[in-house]
Chain A
Amino acid sequence: MRNVRELRSELSAIFDQLKNGEIQAKDAAELANLAGKMINSAKVQVEYYSLRKETPNINFLADDQG
């Protein structure tokens, strides 16, 4: 997962699988936890730029692929 778009599509796939019973709740929870870590790291970056009053340039949150 290179960026937030891929993470979102991955999470929505996990949600569908969990809903349909194709994946165990335990596994889904672990994946959601991992996603939470990635979200938190991106969040810290956003907060860092915000504190420095700079325009954020975060690859993970950028729209373009890569």
Chain B
Amino acid sequence: MTMTFHSKTCTKCSISKPLTGYRKHPDGSQMNYCIECHLKKRREQHAKNKDSVNQARRNAYAENKNGIKDWHLKYRRDRYQRIGRERLKQWEAANKEKLKLAHRNKQARYREWMTDSYIKKILSQHNNSIAKAEYPQELIEVKRLQLMIERLCNEKRKRVT
């Protein structure tokens, strides 16, 4: 392999290319295949293993349809079993500030991400009589868009002043 300061020869196609023509490994080192050869190899691998990989992913999805939510639920249940209700209550009583802060951070995240639950909360702000789940999805979508516009307007106004 010949290597100059700014270029490198691909071990696959044997063409000397600038270093920008090479991708990097996760550890930061330059790959020996140029981008074109690397992508060609990846495409071949994908075509070869497509069915088995897709099937494995389908199986994993079927086992855990709710994603990380189920993991969190399982963690909470295990913890509840392990620690017990009384000890959990004691811990909560002793760490009220910590819990408050965690709740506040969670709400801030929801506000930033504009999750469906956050939008529903805004919609039902002055009315507790309706279950949040009853708002149609279309209404939630338009409310989200409206809030996005309002936020962008506020940002622009702040930039001007």
> Taking CB as reference atom, which chain A residue is nearest B152?
A18
Interface residues of B in 72-124 (CB under 8 A from A): 123
Interface residues of B in 128-145 (CB under 8 A from A): 129-131, 134-136, 138-139, 141-143, 145
> Taking CB as reference atom, which chain B residue is nearest A8?
B142
Complex contacts, B129 vs chain A, CB 8 Å = 47, 50-51
> Taking CB as reference atom, which chain A residue is nearest B140?
A39
Chain A contact patch, size range = 20 to 34
Report whether B156 and A50 are in contact in the complex, using a CB–CB cutoff of 8 Å: no
Interface of B is mostly: helix
Q: How many A-B residue pairs have CB under 8 A?
A: 73
Report whether A61 and B136 are in contact in the complex, using a CB–CB cutoff of 8 Å: yes
CB distance from A52 to the nearest CB of B (A): 11
Known contacts A25-B156, A51-B129, A51-B130, A43 near B139 by CB under 8 Å: yes
Map CB proximity to B onto A25-66 as digits: 1 under 8 Å, 0 otherwise.
Answer: 110110110011001001100110011000010000100000
Residue of B142, B152, B156 near A39 (CB, 8 A) is B142
Report whether B145 and A18 are in contact in the complex, using a CB–CB cutoff of 8 Å: no
A-B contact pairs, 26 of them (CB 8 A): A4-B139, A5-B138, A8-B141, A8-B142, A8-B145, A11-B142, A11-B146, A11-B149, A14-B149, A15-B148, A18-B149, A18-B153, A25-B160, A26-B153, A29-B150, A29-B153, A32-B153, A35-B149, A39-B139, A39-B143, A46-B130, A46-B136, A47-B130, A50-B129, A50-B134, A61-B138
Residues of A that sit less than 8 Å from B by CB = 4-5, 7-8, 11-12, 14-15, 18-19, 25-26, 28-29, 31-32, 35-36, 39, 42-43, 46-47, 50-51, 56, 61
Instruction: List the 5 shortest-distance A-B pairs measured between CB atoms, nearest first.
Output: A11-B145, A25-B156, A32-B149, A29-B153, A4-B138
Residues of B that sit less than 8 Å from A by CB = 123, 127, 129-131, 134-136, 138-139, 141-143, 145-146, 148-150, 152-153, 156-157, 160
